[in-house]
Amino acid sequence: MHILEELYEMTAFSSLGQQPGVLLMLLVGFVLLYLGIAKKYEPLLLVPIGFGVILANLPGGGMGVVSADLIHLPNDRYMNLFEIGSEYGIMNYLYYALIKTGFLPPIIFMGVGALTDFGPMLRNLRLAFFGAAAQIGIFTVLLGAIAMGFTPQEAGSLGIIGGADGPTAIYTTIMLAPHLLGPIAIAAYSYMALVPVIIPLVAKALMTKKEFKINMKQQDKLYPPKHKIKNLKLAKILFPIILGVVVAFFVPSSVPLLGMLLFGNLIKELGSITSRLADAATGPIMNTATIFLGLAVGATMTHDVFLKGQTLGIIVGGFLAFAISIAGGILAVKAYNLFSKKKINPLIGATGLSAVPMASRVANELALKYDSSNHVLQYCMASNISGVIGSAVAAGVLISMLQ
Amino acid sequence: MSENFQEALTLMAVGMLTVFVILLLVVVLGNAIIMFVNRFFPETESKLSNTSPPGQVDRKHLAVIAAAVSVVTGGRGRVLKVEKEG
């Protein structure tokens, strides 16, 4: 009998009775896995995050990320990585080495940069402004969250979900409110996966049929652009170098994200001379970073951290941030059309929030439904890519003012 | 609470203004780069046009072959000669 009791104590079953929240968190992990595997919602992120949630909540597994207070030593010192690893296990080692230091999001941004083509934006530069308008959701939700009782740091992290950019949301949250990392990352990636639902929903509520039918190519024929780019390749090489340096002077805190994005883009645009670097940035490095980011973010979602009223606030606030950002972009285009002869399809404003390239694809499909000859993809990509820059800058502002 | 709200309003104003200014910079810099490139380094059609004598591989095709070899060999390979058969 004594042996049986000891066996029972050794297994995880004894802990289940003491912590019923664990079962709920395992369910959350299974739901995330289901969404990633069966529904194919951002599987590259939701599968590692979902599995990370499961690992973190297996009783006795020691894979849950512990609060930063536990690694804080007297005299304002922190445990070193070896101490963290031996005291709290490998997941905490990974989290404190790769996530808490803010290392992985910029690394992923480097890969994103190497996958990004600034060509559509350079060809339609004035559309870049709509990437700014679509950041309004970030700051509107920040206001709302403060009214709901979130601290300014938590509200900033919640608002940045409206930037529709996973690495940016994670990086900002690490800097401002790391205890909310799990729910914010989940909300950001879930809503990005739901872009095909959210953009049509907001667009149909705010746009008329006539606006859906604004044909961008016809507008270009009626009012041709002033100048063509005579050497796009060189322009695309110079752009990340010059932009990176200039933006760094204005918003230095956006440099870790934007700098790595532009570096990634440069090694892509240089072509064969740096193609091996670009291949590494978009392949092995980005994939490895994604695995560790997903698992470690999932592991922050232990039952004692996740099962709180705040999580519900983040899920609702995140959706509002997304919807308001899309609406901000659409309304900005509508305002522009009031004063300009050359009309712009407001769907191009809707893609001003990042979520590249899915937002552009969704907007393109929506435009084609109303006019089968209205291919707006290239135009949407212009505001879509400027939205990535816009959300990284907004993150920089939040970090520098709230940290 | 009201102090936090005021801080949030300031953040909203500063944040949106900064994002607009940076994207204005993107537009201005982009246009400046395009004007610079168009003026000093235009890639005209004539540079790539078919000016090679008959019987030889034209320069456009040569450029494509050279680029393909460069990609496949990771920048280490060079095309020294391409000849048409017959």
DSSP code string of A109-171: HHHHHHH---HHHHHTGGGGHHHHHTTHHHHHHHHHHHHTT--HHHHHHHHGGGG--HHHHHH
pLDDT of residue B47: 52
Yes or no, beta carbons of A247 and B70 under 8 Å apart: no
First to last CA, chain B: 86
pLDDT of residue B52: 55
Yes or no, beta carbons of B33 and A275 under 8 Å apart: no
Burial-class residue A246 by CB neighbours within 10 Å (0-12, 13-18, 19+).
middle
DSSP notation for A229-289: -S-HHHHHHHHHHHHHHHHHHH-GGGHHHHHHHHHHHHHHHTGGGGHHHHHHIIIIIHHHH
pLDDT of residue B53: 58
Which of A151, A271, A390 is opposite residue B23, by nearest beta carbon? A390
Which of A122, A234, A272 is opposite residue B75, by nearest beta carbon? A272
Q: What is the rounded distance in angstroms from the CA atom of residue A135 to the CA atom of residue A159?
A: 10
Compute CA distances A384 → A228, A354, A363, whole Å. 21, 5, 11
Which of A156, A229, A398 is opposite residue B38, by nearest beta carbon? A229
Nearest CA of chain A to the CA of B49: how many Å? 15
Yes or no, beta carbons of A143 and B5 under 8 Å apart: yes
Compute CA distances B25 → A128, A243, B31, B39, whole Å. 10, 8, 10, 21
Residues of A in contact with B1 (CB under 8 A): 146-147, 149
Q: Is A78 helix (H, G, I), strand (E, B) or coil?
A: strand
Residues of A in contact with B41 (CB under 8 A): 230-231, 234
Which of B4, B15, B25 is opposite residue A246, by nearest beta carbon? B25
Q: What is the pLDDT along chain A (403 residues), one digit of tens a residue?
A: 778 777 777 777 776 667 778 999 999 999 999 999 999 888 998 999 999 999 999 988 889 999 888 998 988 888 999 999 999 999 999 999 999 899 999 999 999 999 999 999 999 998 999 999 999 999 999 999 999 889 999 999 999 999 999 999 999 999 999 999 989 998 998 898 889 999 999 999 999 999 999 999 999 999 888 778 999 999 999 999 999 999 999 999 999 999 999 999 999 999 999 999 999 999 999 999 999 999 999 999 998 888 888 899 999 999 999 999 999 999 999 999 999 999 999 999 999 988 888 999 999 999 999 999 999 999 999 999 999 999 999 999 999 999 8
pLDDT of residue A353: 87
A 246-265 → B contacts, CB under 8 A: 246-247, 250-251
Q: Which of A395, A396, A386, A388 is nearest to A129 (CA)?
A: A386
Residues of B in contact with A121 (CB under 8 A): 26, 30
Which of A230, A250, A390 is opposite residue B38, by nearest beta carbon? A230
Yes or no, beta carbons of A272 and B1 under 8 Å apart: no
For residues A135 and A325, the answer to whether their CB atoms sit within 8 Å is yes
Q: What is the rounded distance in angstroms from the CA atom of residue A297 to the CA atom of residue A64?
A: 10
Helix (H) or strand (E) holding A73: strand A72-73
Residues of A in contact with B4 (CB under 8 A): 146, 151-152
Which of A138, A227, A242 is opposite residue B38, by nearest beta carbon? A227
Length of chain B: 86
Q: What is the rounded distance in angstroms from the CA atom of residue A94 to the CA atom of residue A115?
A: 26
Yes or no, beta carbons of B74 and A276 under 8 Å apart: yes
Residue showing tokens 């110079």: A238
Burial-class residue A61 by CB neighbours within 10 Å (0-12, 13-18, 19+).
middle
Helix (H) or strand (E) holding B39: helix B2-40
Q: Is B64 helix (H, G, I), strand (E, B) or coil?
A: helix
Tens digit of each residue's pLDDT (9 = 90 or more) over B15-56: 999 999 999 999 999 999 999 999 999 986 555 455 555 556
pLDDT of residue B17: 95
Residues of B in contact with A390 (CB under 8 A): 19, 22-23
Q: What is the rounded distance in angstroms from the CA atom of residue B43 to the CA atom of residue A235?
A: 11
pLDDT of residue A324: 96
Q: What is the rounded distance in angstroms from the CA atom of residue A307 to the CA atom of residue A322?
A: 23
Yes or no, beta carbons of A152 and B15 under 8 Å apart: no
